Structure 1
Amino acid sequence: MNSNLPFIHRFQAMTVVCEVQIYGTADAKSVAAMIESNTRRLEEKYNFYSQSSWLNQVVNQRKTSTVTLDDESYTVFEVVRRLVDGTKGIFDPTVGTVKSLINKTPELDKSTAYESVKHFMGPQAWSLAEHTLTAPAFETQFDLGGVIKEFAVDQAINIAQSLGVSSALVNFGGDIRALGQKPDGSAFNVAVRNPNNKSEPWFSLPLVNAALTTSAHYERSFQFADQQSSHILSRYGTHPNVLSVSVLAPTALEAGALSTALTIDPKLEVPSDVGVVFIDDQLSIHQDTGFVAC
């Protein structure tokens, strides 16, 4: 295989098209197959919408207030907890609580739904220590949909790197991470779409040994009895001046959590090694929050 041309493998998982580009490796096909297999395993294990998933069987249908986590799940929840605390609870995996409530009682309006479960959501509703997840209220439900696709992207890079790959690009439905750079020494060039026209690239960013995710509230929605809400669920909604947020970070997991949180509170403080690009409601591009109305 020409080392300057990638081996490209595509598959459907986690409701999106997943693409793996691998450069300069004779075993690229087997590496890609391992990545796909692992991605499907993660999808099956952590799927909030599957009653047979580990997440629902063990965590959301728990019979006691504590759950003993396997090593992988403890790692996931540990990172999630750090992201929850780092975003002051704006990034909230217990959003599954309100989703479960609406699934059972779809006639509830948004305000009533959130009021009904407010004591079962947020950072105070759960804790983590020594491989043990503690969630005293059985009403507290976890939806890891905001992190597992990104976790799968990071694991894909880890798999590729462990098998000797030094140049690869993983893109799972717009959650992207680059391993190294292209064989010619150039960066991977990644485009971010126009929020009002998904077929139109709006700007691009170079990517080398970093991840890029974009969160936006224009593609998918969540239905309450009184209104259609963004799929990025928050009691007070996403910020009206923000159409999308793109975050450049060391890992896809960190980038994804921050891009989600920043659509709700764009003035949230971010780590020094993280870059942020906003597209506002006028389709202007910003790297700071001076455009945000008070």
Structure 2
Amino acid sequence: MLDAIPLEDKVDYLRGKDPQGPHQCTFYAFNTEVALSAYGEERAVFPAFSQAVEACRRYERLFSRTLPHSDVSRLNAAGGAAVAIADETYELLQGSLRYCEQSLGWFDITVGALTSLWDFQRGVMADADELRERLGLVDWRRVELGGEPGARTARLGMPGAMVDVGGTAKGWIADRLGELLRDCGVMHFIINLGGNVVVGGGKPDGSPFAVGIRNPRDTSKILGAVNLTDGSVVTSGLYERCFEINGKRYCHILDPRTGMPIQTDVESATVVAAKSFDCDGFSTTLCALGIEGGIEFAKSRPEIAVAIFVDGQNRLFYSTQ
């Protein structure tokens, strides 16, 4: 979720101890830690890191759901009127609507009208009457995009509707960061944007990067790893934000049709694809469909190279093309 946070100026740069090892950069954005690791000459890598930090600051100011002057916040507060948005916001919204269309009804970026009623950090359930009143505000088809490059607009066809791009924005941003590093001449890198991992070029010795899959029962450990030279790995876990009341667990992924947390046999779904945007855009649907339905869905999407599901007993299930 792209909530408002103080935009931290602190950025940690770490030069590789081994001349052949990676340089690193870590900073805080999008309510999470961003970690960049890249091989190459310092004179190329560190300016690229600096540009990546500045890009993230810009994207946060555009996409945050709660920073009052962001494109998304202004759109949500416009009461159904059209608002001017940046080309980047237009591209993110346009792509996000495509995932809504392909999700079989399980993913909807206008679910923000419902998610705002839940507090998964404090364990507060939404009021049932308020949920019913707001269900009519959830319909991605009522998001209208227009204009030309440099003069884009967006409009919510229902006053009171709210867009929340927390389910897709990190994937879109991670892809942009990968493009930025390549444009700066950095060809071997790994980006970790709060769990959205993008790798490029593998390691200079030709070996792939290893991206771990967390153990839902103990997130300090991993169940396995994905070896990847180019592409993205994203894991969506129900364990990340949830609470229990009277022995029943409520997770942060909501059914857009009811406003209630999904019921599924999936503890986490890991998606491997060329684009992090695709990983993010499909991961919610895979979790909601359950293991059997998720495997069939993954097989139907050529963008998904591999989908890996973990169930409540820490068993792994795979879907490949």
**C-alpha displacement at 1:210, in angstroms?**
0.6
What CA distance in whole angstroms lies between the structure 2 residues aligned with 1:134 and 1:142?
Answer: 10
Shift of the 3–252 alpha-carbon distance from structure 1 to 2, 3 Å rule, reads farther
- TM-score, normalised relative to structure 2: 0.80
What letter is aligned with 2:187? Answer: S
Cα distance 1:241–1:80, how it changes in 2: closer, same or farther (>3 A)? same
Q: CA 1:118 to 1:14, structure 2 compared with 1: closer, same or farther past 3 Å?
A: same
Note if contact 1:240-1:281 (Cα within 8 Å) is conserved in structure 2.
no
Aligned-residue CA RMSD in angstroms? 2.6
TM-superposed CA distance for 1:126, in Å, is: 2.2
Structure 1 counterpart of 2:265: 241
Aligned-pair CA distance for 1:159: 0.8
| Equivalent residue number for residue 6 of structure 2 | none
Cα 1:126–1:223 change in 2 (3 A) is farther
Would you say the 8 A contact 2:75–2:156 is kept in 1?
no
Q: 1:273 corresponds to which letter in structure 2? A: E
TM superposition score normalised by structure 1: 0.87
Q: Secondary structure at the match of 1:171?
A: strand
Q: For residues 2-45 of structure 1, what are the alpha-carbon distances to aligned partners after superposition, in whole Å with 9 as ceiling and x for unaligned?
A: 66411111112212221101112332111111111211221222
Is residue 32 from structure 1 mapped to residue 53 from structure 2 by the alignment? Answer: no
Q: Match for residue 311 of structure 2?
A: 280
| CA-to-aligned-CA distance 1:85-143 (integer Å, 9 cap, x gap) | 1113322111211134568xx99745433321111103333233444433221111011
User: Which residue identity lines up with residue 285 of structure 1 in the other structure?
Assistant: L
User: Quick one: which amino acid aligns to residue 263 of structure 1?
Assistant: C
Misfit runs of 4+, over 6 Å: none
Matches within 5 A, 1:112-191: 112-130=129-147, 131-191=152-212
Distance 1:108 1:32 in 2: 41
Measured at CA, do residues 279 and 110 of structure 1 come closer, stay the same or move farther in structure 2, by a change above 3 Å? farther
- Structure 2 distance, partners of 1:80, 1:111, is 28
Q: Deviations over 1:130-172 (max 9, x none)?
A: 4443322111101111222222211110110111111111001
SS of aligned partner of 2:110: helix
Deviation at 1:78, TM superposition (A): 1.0
Equivalent position of 1:220 in the other structure: 241
SS at match of 1:49: coil
- Match among 208, 222, 234 for residue 229 of structure 2: 208
Relative distance call for 1:40 and 1:221 in structure 2 (3 A) is farther
Letter of the 2:61 partner, please give it: E
Q: Could you tell me how far apart the structure 2 residues matched to 1:86 and 1:175 are?
A: 21
SS of corresponding position for 1:242 = coil
Return the alpha-carbon distance in structure 2 between the equivalents of residues 240 and 99 of structure 1.
18
Q: Provide the residue aligned with 2:9 in structure 1.
A: none
Which residue among 15, 25, 28 is the counterpart of 1:9? Answer: 25
Contact 2:40–2:188 (Cα < 8 Å) also in 1: yes
Give unmatched runs, 5+ long, in structure 2. Answer: 1-15
Counterpart-to-counterpart distance in 2, 1:240 and 1:88: 15
Identity over aligned residues, as a percent? Answer: 24
- Structure 2: distance between partners of 1:159 and 1:206: 23
- Distance (Å, rounded) in 1 between the aligned partners of 2:41 and 2:95: 31
Q: Secondary structure at the match of 1:139?
A: coil
Unaligned stretches of 5+ residues in structure 1: 290-294
Q: Distance in 2 between matches of 1:34 and 1:223?
A: 42
Residue 114 of structure 2 contacts residue 131 of structure 2 at CA under 8 Å; is this kept in 1? yes
CA shift for structure 1 position 288? 4.2
- Does the 8 Å contact 1:168/1:180 carry over to 2? yes
Say if 1:107 and 1:147 are closer, same or farther in 2 by CA, change over 3 A: closer
CA 1:280–1:223: 2 relative to 1, 3 Å:
closer
**Letter matched to residue 201 of structure 1:** I
The letter of the residue matching 2:76 is N
Aligned residue in 1 for 2:279: 255
CA shift, 1:51, in A, is 2.6
